[in-house]
């Protein structure tokens, strides 16, 4: 096994992207994701790649769109306010069926908000974010190791389904250092016969486009895209179950909230409370299955989030509203402490609904 190194989550994303064959990165500075751009700026020129600091997030995502149309594995990264701007280009990327990897190291909002960690872009990420009917596959790492592994997976999924994939991280996972190993399998990018690489006078011209002025044509492209989304829902949902065997109380949390919740679950188990954790690793597609299964026996679900309660809606949908779902949350850059989550678990064990 390759030696483990200590690395920041953001740097692990950048290194993993390079390992995955990404040679084009376009970005615009914003805290707390700057390490990704800094890493790319250092490494890309040395490996024949391109790092370019764009004039804005609008331009950066359009550069991603262009490089992806030209057949390259390409990435950008930003944080919440910047992702709002990039949502224009993400919608075009989705509408043109192009692969791309977008990192959001979330910070508190709305507006300029703050720079401390948050998960309040959950709706934006899982429902689309930009205009029109579309989805991104959304991956939520909870460790530096997963920052690396899910980045490689993001490139594979983006190419496989020809769509944007978002790594939905947060300031904490991006800034923290943990041991990470880059000893994983990397698949080569598939052939891209649709790419605008020049006809070389050997084929008819390729067009990358999201404009369909005839409504029936546009409807058809939407229907076809959603058939693809159904396949993804069936095949690509990822999750981790933790101490779920006999769980009567189920904590749902992803990313940094899941890390905090694990401490609370362990502490509650020591008190004899039958509690477990389901950690969605993809939040689109949302892993409905383990939630539906747990809803048959569990008494209560607790959604632990760094938002005013966004994932809780998916938990309610996945459990068919058969069991009460409560919210344990902090926002604005605050992170719930293990003690706060433990209190919520204790309260649930006593039959409290809030």
Partner 1 sequence: MVVFDKPKSLADIPFHYCPGCTHGIVHRLVAEAIDELGIEGRTIGIAPVGCSVMAYDYFNCDMIEAAHGRAPAVATGVKRADPENNIVFTYQGDGDLASIGMAETVHSAARNENITIIFINNAIYGMTGGQMAPTSLPGQITQTSPYGRDVKHCGYPVKVCEMLAQLEGPEYLERVAVNSVPHIRAAKKAIKKAFENQINGKGFSLIEVISSCPTNWGMTPEKALKWIDDAMIPYYPLGVYKDRSAQKGE
Partner 2 sequence: MTTHYLFAGFGGQGILFSGKLLAYKGLIEGKNVSWLPSYGPEMRGGTASCSVIISDEPIGAPIVLEPDVLIAMNLPSLDRYEGSVVPGGKVYVDSSLIERKLERTDIEGVYIPATKLAGENGMDGLANMIIAGKIIADAKEWNEESIEKALGKCISARHADMLEINRKALLSGRDF
Which residues form the interface with partner 1 (CB under 8 A)? 24, 26, 50, 52, 54-56, 58-60, 62-72, 74, 88-89, 92, 96, 196-202, 204-211, 213
Q: Which does residue 50 touch among partner 1, partner 2, none (CB within 5 to 8 A, set by kind)?
A: partner 1
Cβ 246 to partner 2, closest distance in Å?
21
Residue with smaller CB distance to partner 2, 133 or 178: 178
For 22: left if phi > 0, alpha if psi spans -120 to 50, otherwise beta; the answer is beta
**Minimum distance from CB of 202 to partner 1 (Å)?**
7
Question: What does the alpha-carbon distance between residue 99 and residue 112 come to, in Å, rounded to a whole number?
Answer: 29
Any contact of residue 172 with partner 2 (CB under 8 A)? yes
CA angle in degrees (0–180, nearest 5) for 149-105-112 = 175
Q: List, as own/partner pairs, every contact residues 291-295 make where C-beta atoms lie below 8 angstroms and the sequence separation is at least 24, other chains included.
A: 291/250, 291/252, 291/315, 291/318, 291/319, 292/318, 292/319, 292/320, 294/244, 294/247, 294/250, 294/319, 295/319, 295/320, 295/322, 295/323
* Residue 4 contact partner, candidates partner 2, partner 1, none, CB within 5 to 8 A by sort of partner: partner 2
Give the DSSP H/E element, type plus range, for residue 300.
strand 300-305
CB of 179 to partner 1, least distance (A): 34
Question: Is residue 243 close enough to count as binding partner 2 by CB under 8 A?
Answer: no
Token pair for residue 231?
Answer: 């396949």
Alpha-carbon span 129 to 127, nearest angstrom: 6
Least Cβ distance, residue 41 to partner 1 (angstroms):
14
When asked if residue 255 is in the footprint of partner 2 (CB under 8 A), the reply is no
Candidate ranges 155-163, 174-182, 320-328, 344-352; the one touching partner 2 (CB under 8 A): 174-182
Among 67, 74, 101, 335, binds partner 2 (CB under 8 A): 335
Question: Taking the complex as a whole, how short is the minimal distance between the CB of residue 58 and partner 1, in angstroms?
Answer: 6
CB of 174 to partner 2, least distance (A): 9
- Distance between CA atoms of 31 and 294, rounded to whole angstroms? 38
Give whichever of 56 and 231 is closer to partner 1, judged by the CB atom.
56
Q: Which of residues 179-198 bind partner 2 (CB under 8 A)?
A: 179
Q: Which does 337 bind (CB under 5 to 8 A by kind): partner 1, partner 2, none?
A: partner 2
Alpha-carbon Rg for the chain, nearest whole angstrom, is 21
Q: Return d(Cα 59, Cα 205) in angstroms, integer.
A: 25
- In the complex with partner 1, which residue's Cβ is closer, 70 or 334? 70
Among 174, 166, 187, which residue's Cα sits nearest to residue 93? 166
The Cβ of residue 76 has, within 10 Å, a number of other Cβ atoms equal to: 30
**Backbone φ/ψ region at 191: left (φ over 0), alpha (ψ -120 to 50), beta:** beta
What residue 202 binds from partner 2, partner 1, none (CB within 5 to 8 A, per partner kind)? partner 1
Residue list 7-26, contact with partner 2 (CB under 8 A):
none
CB of 332 to partner 1, least distance (A): 31
Stretch of residues binding partner 2 (CB under 8 A), selected from 1-9, 63-71, 194-202, 280-288: 1-9
Nearest CA-CA partner of 279 in 247, 256, 295 = 256
Taking the least distance from each CB to partner 1, the nearer of 9 and 27 is: 27
Q: Does 262 participate in binding partner 2 (rule CB under 8 A)?
A: yes
Task: Give the separation between CA 168 and CA 172, rounded to whole angstroms.
Answer: 12
Q: Does 327 bind partner 2 (CB under 8 A)?
A: no
Residues that bind partner 2 (CB under 8 A): 4-6, 31-32, 115-116, 171-172, 175-179, 256, 259-263, 266, 335, 337-338
């Amino acid at each position: 096994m390759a030696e483990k190194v200590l690395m920041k989550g953001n740097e692990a994303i950048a290194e993993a992207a390079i390992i995955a064959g990404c040679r084009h990165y376009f970005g615009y500075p914003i805290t707390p994701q700057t390490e990704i751009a800094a890493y790319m700026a250092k490494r890309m020129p040395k490996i024949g790649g391109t790092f370019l600091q764009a004039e804005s997030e609008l331009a950066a995502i359009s550069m991603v769109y262009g490089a992806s149309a030209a057949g390259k594995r390409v990435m950008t990264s930003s944080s919440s306010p910047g992702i709002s701007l990039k949502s224009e280009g993400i919608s075009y990327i989705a509408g043109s069926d192009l692969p791309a990897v977008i990192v959001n190291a979330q910070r508190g909002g709305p507006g300029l908000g703050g720079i401390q960690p948050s998960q309040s872009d959950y709706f934006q990420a899982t429902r689309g974010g930009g205009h029109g009917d579309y989805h991104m596959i959304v991956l939520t790492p909870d460790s530096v190791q997963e920052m690396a592994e899910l980045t490689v997976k993001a490139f594979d999924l983006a190419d496989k389904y020809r769509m944007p994939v978002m790594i939905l991280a947060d300031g904490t996972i991006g800034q923290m250092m943990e041991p990470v190993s880059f000893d994983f399998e990397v698949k080569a990018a598939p052939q891209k016969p649709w790419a605008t690489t020049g006809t070389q006078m050997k084929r008819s011209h390729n067009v990358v486009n999201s404009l369909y002025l005839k409504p029936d044509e546009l409807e058809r492209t939407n229907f076809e895209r959603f058939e693809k989304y159904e396949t993804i829902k069936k095949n690509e949902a990822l999750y981790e179950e933790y101490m779920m065997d006999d769980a009567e109380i189920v904590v749902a949390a992803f990313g940094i909230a899941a890390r905090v919740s694990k401490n609370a679950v362990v502490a509650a188990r020591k008190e004899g409370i039958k509690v477990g954790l389901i950690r969605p690793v993809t939040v689109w597609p949302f892993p409905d299955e383990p939630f539906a299964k747990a809803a048959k026996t569990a008494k209560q679900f607790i959604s632990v989030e760094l938002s005013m309660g966004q994932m809780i809606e998916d938990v309610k949908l996945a459990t068919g509203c058969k069991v009460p779902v409560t919210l344990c949350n902090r926002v604005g850059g605050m992170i719930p402490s293990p003690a706060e989550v433990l209190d919520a678990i204790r309260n649930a064990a006593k039959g409290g609904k809030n």
